[in-house]
A and B are shown apart, each in its own frame.
Chain A
């Protein structure tokens, strides 16, 4: 009796040796029949399930592993680094204090912040504009880790970004505060500057649930 480790070692040692096939294997037809059996069973099972689904039966058994992408989306882990968003204070202004930590730490240098004053004397600064060039972003998540205010997060569960130009890949502060409102086929907006009163007028939307609910 040899241990499993020894068996594996023997296997690795003999891996280059060509195994001599038995007569049953050499006539090749049984192996073909076996393969055809497997694939045809998949075929008939899936055909039956597709028809049953049309009739409203066996809904719990999937007939395919396909996720029909734009219509259905895969459920992603909440830890997945997806598109950025800026969190808000209770009054609707961004939590960001324009400390430039994220802009500084960003290895792709894709964050552009213009700082302004916040009317509340307890808050030092507020970004007038906050832009991210997704065409440059490498999704490393350093901005999230560097932020001292928990003002930027990467948890929108959106990762489908396509635009017709490099300029189209920019996210302005409006989109970052209300993720999901920017249509990527619209002409791009860059360096949108908002005053604190305009921040408050932005719709108070909670971060939208991750798009799609899987199959």
Chain B
């Protein structure tokens, strides 16, 4: 009983730590990647020195190098956010105004509970699933939490006592409505293909081979579903091509009346949601922790070669594969964020309701027909 609890705590601690670190590093990634994409240098000045009794010279050398890479800017950001004055507007609702950022970040972080980060680890005869909560309808759980997450944003907008913030909150609500449906419906085709809502099982079934040589990843079975899902999921993160709730040029956004770390929490939520979307895309469409041709016993190549891999290395490779894919998708979403211009509001609604939604419905119809015909004539 106690062991179970400790194991769960360890796994959830690892997931939480990984997610928060990835989210925190995104401030660095955002600065540096956008700089490289635009032929700039980016943040490279922030650093600090420590006195001799904390290491002195060598530590300072490392700090200077890190500062030159701009990594210490993330630290400076956090110090700034934590030491700023916390302002609650006089017209705002004190309780709900404080609650909103916590709601926002809480549900974004909670969704990671259902995502498997690695293959089951067998340690001392005990099987440990590397997944915080092994929910048999994990996909629904994640979708539900993704929708609840927008409540924080709506609350923030409505309780700030600022008309522009309210507009931001309302935009978030309507955007959520438009894209949540496409998001959910685009995944039904995937559920039809793999026949499960269990995230662990879903990832495991993507390790099988198609026609004996192609990994059975979701993106190969559901290319249209993948594109619709990624578009809708990007809209869920409220980042640039879909940043209408924020709307920097015209309404500043739902978090206008927030300062200090409460604003920081919204900031963090954005980044956590990017990690979440990257992790979901990986888990649902790109094989999760699966490495192509890696079976629990070792690599089994389609031409018959077998390379045995010990169990711990197998688990490690799985974790590595998942992390690499997630980081790659974070990079990709960052690339999109710094490449595409913003949608106009009517274009946003047009894309959500008239393109993505019918497309995902069509995807379900085609997938179902193919599955039924395929099972009738195997």
Contact A65 B40 (CB under 8 A): yes
Are A64 and B335 in touch, CB under 8 angstroms? no
Contact residue among A32, A46, A64, A65 (Cβ-Cβ distance under 8 Å from B340): A32
Q: Which residues of A contact B338 (CB under 8 A)?
A: 39
CA distance A29 to B231 in the complex (A): 11
In the bound assembly, the distance between CA atoms of A29 and B336 in angstroms comes to 12
Could you tell me if B340 and A50 are in contact, using CB atoms closer than 8 angstroms? Answer: no
Q: Are the C-beta atoms of B36 and A36 separated by less than 8 Å? A: no
B227 touches A43 (CB 8 A): no
Q: Confirm or deny: A52 has a beta carbon within 8 angstroms of a beta carbon on chain B.
A: no
Within the complex, the shortest CB–CB distance from B357 to chain A, in Å, comes to 16
Interface size of B by CB at 8 A reads 14
Is the C-beta of B339 less than 8 angstroms from some C-beta in chain A? yes
Q: Which residue of B lies closest to A27 (CB)?
A: B355
Contacts of A1-48 to chain B: CB distance below 8 A = 29, 32, 35-36, 38-40, 42-43, 46-47
Q: Are B39 and A35 in contact, CB atoms less than 8 angstroms apart?
A: no
B41 contacts chain A at the CB level, 8 A cutoff:
yes
- B78 adjacent to chain A (CB < 8 Å): no
Contact B39 A42 (CB under 8 A): yes
B residues 17-54 in Cβ contact with A at 8 Å:
33, 35-41
Q: Are B339 and A39 in contact (CB under 8 A)?
A: yes
> For the complex, is A68 an interface residue (Cβ under 8 Å from B)?
yes
Q: How far in angstroms is the closest Cβ of chain A from B226?
A: 12
Pairwise interchain contact A46-B36, C-beta atoms closer than 8 A:
yes
Cross-chain contact B40 with A66 (CB below 8 angstroms): yes
A50: chain B residues within 8 A (beta carbon): 36
Interface size on A, residues (CB 8 A): 17
B41, B335, B336: the one within 8 Å of A43 (CB): B335
A42 and B37 within 8 A (CB): yes
Residues of B within 8 A of A35 (CB): 339-340
Kindly state the separation between the CA atoms of A153 and B144 in the bound complex, as whole angstroms: 73
Which residue from A36, A38, A42, A68 sits with its C-beta under 8 Å from B336?
A36
The interface residues of chain B lying within 8 Å CB-to-CB of A38 are 339
Residue of A nearest to B332 (CB): A36
Q: A29-B227, A64-B41, A68-B41 are in contact. Are A43 and B36 (CB under 8 A)?
A: yes
Residue on B nearest A29 in the bound complex, by CB: B227
Q: Which of A32, A36, A40, A46 contacts B39 (CB 8 A)?
A: A46
Complex formed: what's the CA distance from A6 to B366 in Å?
Answer: 51
Q: Which residues of A contact B41 (CB under 8 A)?
A: 64, 66, 68
Query: Which chain B residues lie closer than 8 Å to A29 at the CB level?
Result: 227
User: CB-CB < 8 A to A39: which residues of B?
Assistant: 37, 335, 338-339
CB distance from B106 to the nearest CB of A (A): 33
Please tell me if the beta carbons of B35 and A64 are within 8 angstroms of each other in the complex: yes
Q: Mark B166-200, 1 if CB is under 8 A from A, else 0.
A: 00000000000000000000000000000000000
B356 CB to nearest chain A CB (Å): 12
Q: Is the CB of A40 within 8 A of B40?
A: no
Interface residues of B in 282-340 (CB under 8 A from A): 335-336, 338-340
Query: A68 vs B37: C-alpha distance in the bound complex, in angstroms?
Result: 18
Interface residues of A in 51-66 (CB under 8 A from B): 63-66
- Asked whether A64 lies within 8 Å of B227 as measured between CB atoms, the reply is no
Residues of chain B contacted by A42 (CB below 8 angstroms): 36-39
> A46 to chain B: closest CB distance in Å?
4
The 8 A CB mask of B223-262 against A (1 = contact, 0 = none) is 0000100000000000000000000000000000000000
Residues on the B chain within 8 Å of A40, using CB: 37, 335
CA distance A36 to B339 in the complex (A): 6
* Complex: chain A residue closest to B69, CB-CB: A50
Q: Which residues does chain B contribute within 8 Å of A65, judged by CB atoms?
A: 39-40
Q: How far is the CA of A47 from the CA of B38 in the complex (A)?
A: 12
A32 to B336 CA separation, bound complex (whole angstroms): 9
A63 to B32, CA, bound (A): 13
In the bound complex, CA of A43 to CA of B35 (Å): 8
Q: Which residues of A contact B336 (CB under 8 A)?
A: 32, 36
A65 to B42, CA, bound (A): 11
Q: Which residue of B lies closest to A26 (CB)?
A: B355
Say whether B335 contacts A47, CB under 8 Å.
no
Find out whether the CB atom of A43 lies under 8 angstroms from the CB atom of B40.
no
Q: Interface code B335-350, partner A: CB below 8 Å = 1, 0 otherwise?
A: 1101110000000000
A136 vs B304: C-alpha distance in the bound complex, in angstroms? 84
Contact yes or no, A36 B37, CB < 8 A: no
A207 to B38, CA, bound (A): 38
Asked if A47 and B36 sit within 8 Å, CB to CB, the answer is yes
Measured CB to CB, the closest approach of chain B to A184, in angstroms, equals 21
Q: Name which residue of chain B comes closest to A68, CB basis.
A: B41
Q: A195 → chain B, closest Cβ, in Å?
A: 47
Measured in the bound complex, the distance between the Cα atoms of B338 and A68 in whole Å is 23
- A5 CA to B99 CA, complexed, in Å: 64
Q: Complex: how many Å from CA A40 to CA B37?
A: 7
> What's the least CB distance linking A213 to chain B, in Å?
19
Interface contacts beyond A32-B339, A36-B336, A42-B38: sample of 16 additional A-B pairs, CB < 8 Å, sorted by A: A32-B336, A32-B340, A36-B335, A36-B339, A38-B339, A39-B338, A40-B335, A42-B39, A43-B33, A43-B36, A63-B39, A64-B36, A65-B39, A65-B40, A66-B39, A68-B41
A/B interface sample: 10 pairs, CB < 8 A? A29-B227, A39-B37, A39-B335, A40-B37, A42-B37, A43-B33, A43-B37, A46-B37, A50-B36, A65-B40
Chain B residues with CB under 8 Å of chain A are 33, 35-41, 227, 335-336, 338-340
